[in-house]
Structure 1
Amino acid sequence: MKKLIINISFVLVAATSLVSCKKAIEDKFYNPEKARDASLSGLFTAMLNNDRVAAKYWNVRTFLCQMPGVYAQTSYFPNANSVYQQSDGYSQNYWDDFYATGGNGSGSMAQYRSMETKFKTLSDTEKAAQATIMQAAKVVLIEQAAKMVDLWGDIPYSEAGSLETSSTIVNAKFDEQKALYTSFIADLATAGAYFKANPTNKDFAKADILLKGDVNLWARYANSLRLRLLMRISKVDEGTARTAVLDMLNNSAAFPLIDGGNNPSYNPGVSDVLLQPLTNSTSDLSAAFMEGSWYATDYMLNTVMLPANDPRIPVIYDKYGRTVNGKFVPNAGYKAMPVTMTGSDQETKFADYSVLDSATFLYNQKLPGIVITASEVNLLKAEAYERWGSSASAQTAYGNALRQSVTFYHYLNSLNQGGGYVNVPVPAAADIDAWVNTSSASYTGTSANKLANIYTQKWVHLGVLQSTEAWSEYRRTGFPVLTFPSDGKLSGFDTPPTRLIYPGKEKILNAANYQAVQAKDTRKTKIFWQP
């Protein structure tokens, strides 16, 4: 009954929010409606207003915490027999939200194709004025398309969106995943150079609800996304990745990054790429998490964070507890339910274990959608330096990344003002230094040990809100070394997959093109960048 009430309430709130949020965009930005005669600016705003990027119920509840969060153990999951089985309905929703508007995403592909069509009708003078918006839209499309590749492998891309470009429906071929990544990396290099060399303009600034028309940040965003994709292919195409990455890192003036200026006390709200909620948004993630995924995860808390006395623990988790004689009694310390705990024990003993912090995650109406952060970028830099350059430079980047992660999570917590929530005080510098320099998280040991720490700390930092990226990095690096209970699981689903199966409707409606990739369509087929 409790879940039913929550769900009904959510539907009512969502219906109201959709109307009010739409009006807020129209008042402040260009018309985002998907229409043939819509302005480029309006289409771009609509493209950015993506509930698959924003911190929204449907994406967190039905996708992140159902699939990638389970497969990467960044989200708690019940020890049920079908826990590793992909939800075809929810993965179909995610797939559709990339290609078409009207769902829970912005329809990135459809919006971009509409922008291309509109752009072709402009005069040369108008095209020159609108080129900045088109470059930014390409970066946004690539970020979302790369996630699609990371989840499924080959995807329709080059021929997708025919309805927007030619008013006809043409079933699109599946483009080969490695070729797509190659094109993404090249296009991001072009975009980064463009934003470095060109000024902003009023149309772009008004349309840009992500970075407010700041071309410096767009250059950093394009370069940082390129760095992410290059490092992702680095285990299978090390030569290409190494050359391009070292060129970027050795020429920071030409390739600025989202690295917070390498300042541990940076301002995430200014430096990171975050999709802030609309000013009149009143939604939060309480229902998304409390319907089963708000408990602390075993390996992250028990194995990684607690032994290191990680200063992020109080801002990511709450001790939780029980009500005794009408009074809430918190647990003595932090601990997560063991991943091997039976389903029946999970249902009866959950109050003895920690949960996600309510102020940071559950009831935070100001929680942004996270695209890329300084901590992730510095961990990418640390990996590159450790593998191909100076271990001392790697240690510096690693230390910056850990300190910035503390800053980042306290920033998220600080956004929740009022409502009776007390913000967690920022830890003393000495406590953070002890964690970075002398704990199990410290940058010591062999190069292999150092890389393992880089990979593990990136997984922790990405966490539940970036579970898709966490799952990709886990599959790429093999870290952390996780245990997945297999006893009692459904036959054929006793372990997590290495990719998602194509959604059912795509197999039927695009059957001819699906035949070309059908042999790859197994849950254990590797994405091309997996070693």
Structure 2
Amino acid sequence: MKKLFIKASFLLIAISTVVGCKKELDEKFNNPEKVLDPSLNGLFTGMLNNDRVAAKYWNVRTFLTQMPGVYAQTSYIANGNTIYQQSDGYSQQYWDDFYSTGGNGSGVLAQYRTMEVKYQSLSAAEQANQKAIMQAAKVVLIEQAAKMVDLWGDIPYTAAGSLNLSSTISNPKYDEQKALYTSFIADLEALATYFNTNTTTSAFSKSDILLKGSMNMWARYANSLRLRLLMRISRTDEATARTAVLAMLANQATSPLIDGDNTAEYNPATSDVLLQTLTNSTSDLRDAFFEGSWYATDYALNTLMLPANDPRIPVIYDKFGRTVKINNRDVFVQNANYRAMPITFTTAQQESSFADYSVLDSATFLFNQKLPGILITSSEVNFLKAEAFERWGNTASAKTAYDKALRQSVTFYHYLNNLNQGGGYRNVTAPSASVVDAWVNSSTATYTGSSAAKLTLIYNQKWLHYGVLQSTEAWSEYRRTGFPLLTFPTAGKLSGFDTPPTRLIYPAKEKTLNSENYQAVVSKDTRKTKIFWMP
């Protein structure tokens, strides 16, 4: 979907910061921050309603496009001397939003600990009726906790939230990152089995704003998260990953995945795990991108997409342009071609030339009030399957999964685009089958060459599919695989921050308030310490 016209004011953007307000949930759910005895299903709904998952201003503006997006080059920002320096304030907020409520996230761990206490107080019959909610809540917790490990490494986890559990305050120890991943992977297997062998309840369906109480979808989600985590450890613990992944892929009847039923023309709304916007939401990401960055990224557009004649280009990017005087009238003249500013541009070059280069599509990303939070997609899962088959199975199966992932990515981005209806926008016409076929079968994206070359294709295309909205996953996969082969300008950068980090430094407040336990991890707390799954 394209904006019918691009206002000249886009060229001189001066937008004041807007602090987004959380939208109220339906009154049928109790607000856990306002009542003494919150309901279990209300807590679960609140846990799901997470602005660190949803496509919301604060997370995109202050975190995704400022840290992981910069380090993975899924976001293009001003090439200043501090671009690789972590923002302690914004990373502190992200950290806090995992452990406590009242910020820009849902306080996933705090909500879960409160749910544990509530669940333990129920009768056996009530526990049986509410068990599906607790199992789904654990999947949600693991997904967010794994991201915390991917960002920082060791984190407080098993002992965190003691006030909720025991009504006593104690500073939590840090759990070792590899041990946490091992527990996450084991728990996800057990959770998937539960959802595969049990039926839903009305209480679960009522409170589940993510997957509508579908046991099949929760089983698929748990399995797909497990696949993601297993592939993430596969460079440092290949034997464990290989055995578990091949067992999953050999029996998808008992280990179903979020894979769009392996069809290209699938429905992301029902097949992917997306946090849809609440019905009363009117926010979009225009301020997040205008204040941060909405420019096309160099490697994605110039190196990967344009040479392949990638059919996703028109739905992901606008050509942009300049306003010029024609017959004494201001006329917006669109650029002739799609192209991104080189990553090597100085700040001065960026400021003088940005109008000559492409930007994110205004309708797909900037003004889309229906843009969902993306947790996992069929395309990602098929890219993971392709990697597993190429490394441990056979290349024919890998090609099938890879080709499917490419086609599903086209479907996915057009789905996002088509969510934006009205308001002066028109839909971008989906590419013809022949155009997509040419891209898949006879372009620089085609699955061919040596096994190493094919793996490079998988890694590059998965990174492309993640894009800016899944910058955290893109950064994790970049650190794991080493692809794409990105160039990071180093000239003139602040001493000690001339290249991107390999992890985030613990926030200052955490070091102060949990200082005794911090001493156990202080030696690891450098910006170049590797996360355990990095080769």
* TM superposition score category, shorter chain reference: over 0.9
Give the alignment of 1:371-386 within 5 angstroms.
371-386=375-390
Give the alignment of 1:65-464 within 5 angstroms.
65-325=65-325, 326-464=330-468
**Range with bigger deviation, 35-44 or 400-409:** 35-44
Do 2:284 and 2:369's aligned partners in 1 also have CA atoms closer than 8 Å?
Answer: yes
Do 1:32 and 1:45's aligned partners in 2 also have CA atoms closer than 8 Å?
Answer: no
- Give the superposition deviation at 1:423: 1.1
Do 1:26 and 1:32's aligned partners in 2 also have CA atoms closer than 8 Å?
Answer: no
Instruction: Give the corresponding residue for 2:44.
Output: 44
Whole-angstrom CA distance in 2 between matches of 1:59 and 1:367:
14
Q: TM-score if structure 2 supplies the norm length?
A: 0.96
Whole-angstrom CA distance in 1 between matches of 2:29 and 2:163:
26
Aligned partner of residue 497 in structure 2, secondary structure: coil
What code does the residue aligned with 1:40 have? Answer: L
Whole-angstrom CA distance in 2 between matches of 1:292 and 1:228:
29
**Range with bigger deviation, 53-62 or 122-131:** 122-131
Whole-angstrom CA distance in 1 between matches of 2:13 and 2:431:
37
Whole-angstrom CA distance in 2 between matches of 1:346 and 1:486:
16
Out of 456, 467, 485, the position equivalent to 2:489 is: 485
Aligned partner of residue 436 in structure 1, secondary structure: helix
Whole-angstrom CA distance in 1 between matches of 2:29 and 2:448:
50
Whole-angstrom CA distance in 1 between matches of 2:465 and 2:176:
31
Instruction: Give the corresponding residue for 2:5.
Output: none
Whole-angstrom CA distance in 2 between matches of 1:517 and 1:387:
34
Instruction: Give the corresponding residue for 2:533.
Output: 529
- Give the superposition deviation at 1:27: 3.0
Do 1:157 and 1:174's aligned partners in 2 also have CA atoms closer than 8 Å?
Answer: yes
Whole-angstrom CA distance in 2 between matches of 1:86 and 1:31:
34
Give the alignment of 1:22-41 within 5 angstroms.
22=24, 25-27=25-27, 29=29, 31-33=31-33, 35-41=35-41
What code does the residue aligned with 1:6 have? Answer: S
Do 1:30 and 1:45's aligned partners in 2 also have CA atoms closer than 8 Å?
Answer: no
Whole-angstrom CA distance in 2 between matches of 1:141 and 1:246:
26
- Give the superposition deviation at 1:512: 0.3
- Give the superposition deviation at 1:169: 1.6
Instruction: Give the corresponding residue for 2:510.
Output: 506
Do 2:343 and 2:489's aligned partners in 1 also have CA atoms closer than 8 Å?
Answer: yes
Q: Deviations over 1:308-333 (max 9, x none)?
A: 00000000000000011101000000
Whole-angstrom CA distance in 1 between matches of 2:293 and 2:422:
25
Whole-angstrom CA distance in 2 between matches of 1:239 and 1:508:
40
Do 1:84 and 1:493's aligned partners in 2 also have CA atoms closer than 8 Å?
Answer: yes
**Count of residues in correspondence between the two structures:** 521
Q: TM-score if structure 1 supplies the norm length?
A: 0.97
Instruction: Give the corresponding residue for 1:6.
Output: 16
RMSD (Å), alpha carbons: 1.2
- Going from structure 1 to structure 2, the CA distance change for 1:314 and 1:3 (only over 3 Å counts) comes to closer
Aligned partner of residue 323 in structure 1, secondary structure: strand
What code does the residue aligned with 1:203 have? Answer: A
Whole-angstrom CA distance in 2 between matches of 1:34 and 1:298:
47
Aligned partner of residue 374 in structure 2, secondary structure: strand
- Give the superposition deviation at 1:35: 4.6
- Give the superposition deviation at 1:3: 6.8
Instruction: Give the corresponding residue for 2:3.
Output: none
Whole-angstrom CA distance in 1 between matches of 2:186 and 2:292:
41
- Going from structure 1 to structure 2, the CA distance change for 1:247 and 1:106 (only over 3 Å counts) comes to same
Aligned partner of residue 333 in structure 1, secondary structure: coil
- Give the superposition deviation at 1:31: 4.3
Whole-angstrom CA distance in 2 between matches of 1:31 and 1:507:
31
Whole-angstrom CA distance in 2 between matches of 1:66 and 1:95:
15
- Give the superposition deviation at 1:53: 0.1
Structure 1 residue ranges, 4+ long, deviating more than 2 angstroms after superposition: 1-6, 26-36
Aligned partner of residue 510 in structure 2, secondary structure: helix
Q: Deviations over 1:16-46 (max 9, x none)?
A: xx3xx21xx1335454546551111000000
Instruction: Give the corresponding residue for 1:58.
Output: 58
Do 1:30 and 1:207's aligned partners in 2 also have CA atoms closer than 8 Å?
Answer: no
Q: Deviations over 1:360-385 (max 9, x none)?
A: 00000000000000000000000000
Structure number having the greater helix percentage:
1
Aligned partner of residue 472 in structure 1, secondary structure: helix
Whole-angstrom CA distance in 1 between matches of 2:129 and 2:176:
34
Do 2:29 and 2:39's aligned partners in 1 also have CA atoms closer than 8 Å?
Answer: no
- Give the superposition deviation at 1:168: 2.1
Whole-angstrom CA distance in 1 between matches of 2:52 and 2:317:
24
- Give the superposition deviation at 1:390: 1.2
Do 1:33 and 1:46's aligned partners in 2 also have CA atoms closer than 8 Å?
Answer: no
Whole-angstrom CA distance in 2 between matches of 1:139 and 1:444:
37
Do 2:316 and 2:360's aligned partners in 1 also have CA atoms closer than 8 Å?
Answer: yes
What code does the residue aligned with 1:57 have? Answer: Y
- Give the superposition deviation at 1:124: 0.9
Aligned partner of residue 26 in structure 1, secondary structure: coil
Q: Deviations over 1:246-280 (max 9, x none)?
A: 00000000000000000000000010000001001
Do 1:36 and 1:114's aligned partners in 2 also have CA atoms closer than 8 Å?
Answer: no
Do 1:191 and 1:219's aligned partners in 2 also have CA atoms closer than 8 Å?
Answer: yes
- Going from structure 1 to structure 2, the CA distance change for 1:32 and 1:3 (only over 3 Å counts) comes to farther
Whole-angstrom CA distance in 2 between matches of 1:374 and 1:403:
10
What code does the residue aligned with 2:409 have? Answer: S
Which stretches in structure 1 are left out of the alignment for 5+ residues? Answer: none
Do 1:34 and 1:43's aligned partners in 2 also have CA atoms closer than 8 Å?
Answer: no
Whole-angstrom CA distance in 2 between matches of 1:58 and 1:128:
38
- Give the superposition deviation at 1:165: 1.0
- Give the superposition deviation at 1:406: 0.1
Q: Deviations over 1:202-242 (max 9, x none)?
A: 00001000001011000000000000000000000000000
Whole-angstrom CA distance in 2 between matches of 1:468 and 1:32:
28
Whole-angstrom CA distance in 1 between matches of 2:32 and 2:207:
9
